[in-house]
Amino acid sequence: MRKLAERHTAKIVLLDDALRFMRVVWDLEHAVQSTSKRMERTIGVTGPQRLAMRVAGTLPGITPAELARVLHLDPSTISGVIHRLVAKQLVARAADPLDRRLVRLRLTPTGERLNRPTRTGTLESAIRGTLARFPDSKIRTAVEVLEHLSSTLSAKSKRP
């Protein structure tokens, strides 16, 4: 069985760039999902919830619509994330003092404690550790490639 796995592993180098990249993207997606589930068990929030909290903590008073734009998410998706964070008493909603139709988000004291950027065991800490190993030029290139791929896939999924 081991020899079969080694033979297939060795053949990965024969895959073209697109297939090798897809394999890495799927591996990354699986690792992100697994880490997110582990985060929920260990610290009480998923990866997307933590990201929403980090942005809300960095930009106090952000509206749900602004948060959705920052995170490149549909407003209905961010609505569910916010609802769960409010239910966990990590985020509070408050009416905008100038426009009562708007809701502003802020972290609760419990949310503030959970929001520390150095929190270990999070996707963010793994990403920060990984990024620290590479020069800025490589990070910019990786971000550019991933943003372009995301944009391409998003545009294609919106076509009828």
CB 107 within 8 A of CB 116: no
Where the chain has pLDDT below 50, the residues are none
pLDDT for the residue numbered 8: 57
Q: Write the DSSP symbol of residue 135.
A: -
pLDDT at position 3: 55
pLDDT for position 94: 93
CB-based burial of residue 38 (10 Å sphere; 0-12 exposed, 13-18 middle, 19+ buried)? middle
Q: What's the pLDDT score for residue 117?
A: 77
Distance of CA 17 to the CA centre of its chain: 25
Complete DSSP assignment for 96-116: -SS-TT-EEEEE-HHHHHHT-
Query: What's the pLDDT at 6?
Result: 58
Residue 135: the pLDDT is: 97
pLDDT value for 97: 87
Q: Which pTM was predicted?
A: 0.80
